[in-house]
A = this chain, B = another copy of it.
Amino acid sequence: MKKKKTVFIEGQITSSFIGNAIAKHQTKTQIGAHNIFLGQVRKDKIEDKTVKAIDFSCYQEMADQKLDIIREETFEKYDLTCMHIYHSLGKVEVGEVCLFVFVSAPHRPQVYEATEYIVNRVKEEVPIFGKEIFEDASYQWKTNV
């Protein structure tokens, strides 16, 4: 049976978590190229309000299924040694990382495109919802456009 991947992380994805993930790949000596995408919560201004944090939630059963499909189809499409996707749930403050996509391959040509492909599919297909919380404690629901 396939090991269940832990994709969702409560709160921000810390820089030390990312550093550890990189360190763990040093034993995979067939790898020559890593590419990493990080989504960071931006201090957006919307009209007169300023984003302070995003509160993420998800439809977990569907999200897990969609992430499995994305993983499978990415491996079919690109020659990768490994790939990892992590996303925050709950509150992530401005400046903190909420998405971490990590792609590794023997050689570099495909790693950039593979990363972009994964990030786009995660944004479009995975049922994750985000409440943009403003500095005055009001909020609005974020949409990926």
Contacts and interface: CB of A to CB of B under 8 A. Distances in A.
Interface string A106-136: 1010011101100100000000000000000
Tallying the copies of this chain within the complex gives: 2
A119 B94 CA distance: 29
A34 B29 contact: no
Given A15-B22, A33-B37, A42 B94 contact: no
A119 B115 CA distance: 15
B15 A19 contact: yes
Main DSSP-derived SS at the A contact region: mixed
Contacts of A35: 35-38, 112, 115
Given A108-B119, A112-B113, A38 B22 contact: yes
A142 to B, nearest CB: 12
A20 B19 CA distance: 8
Interface in A30-71: 30-43
Contacts of A18: 18-19, 22
Given A23-B15, A108-B119, A112-B115, A34 B33 contact: no
Interface of A: 15-16, 18-20, 22-23, 25-43, 94-97, 106, 108, 111-113, 115-116, 119
